[in-house]
Amino acid sequence: MKTVLTPRDRVKAAYLHLVLGVEVQTIAVALEVNMGRVSEAITALELAASDPKEARRRMSGPPMGLSEESP
């Protein structure tokens, strides 16, 4: 099982779910990743489409789940 999605796979996962209505579980199995990675890709694309400034701000900070105080 892969631990990360390529940028192309992230867009593909979001497209499959948001446009074609494919379930997250099905996409995760097809791309051989955890369902959480697929959900992250979908959320990132939704955020970028709705609020580009906020998406850029989040992408410039530490990775999700990590604070700047983390070692």
Cα 1 to Cα 65: distance, rounded to the nearest angstrom: 21
Reading the chain (71 residues) residue by residue, the pLDDT tens digits are 888 899 999 999 999 999 999 999 999 999 999 999 999 999 989 988 888 888 777 767 655 554 444 44
What stretch of H or E contains 60? helix 52-60
| CA 53 and chain centroid, separation | 17
The Cα–Cα gap between 42 and 16 comes to 9
Q: What is the residue-wise DSSP string for 23-41?
A: -HHHHHHHHTS-HHHHHHH
Distance of CA 41 to the CA centre of its chain: 2
pTM of full prediction above 0.75: no
Give the residue extent of every domain in the chain: 7-60
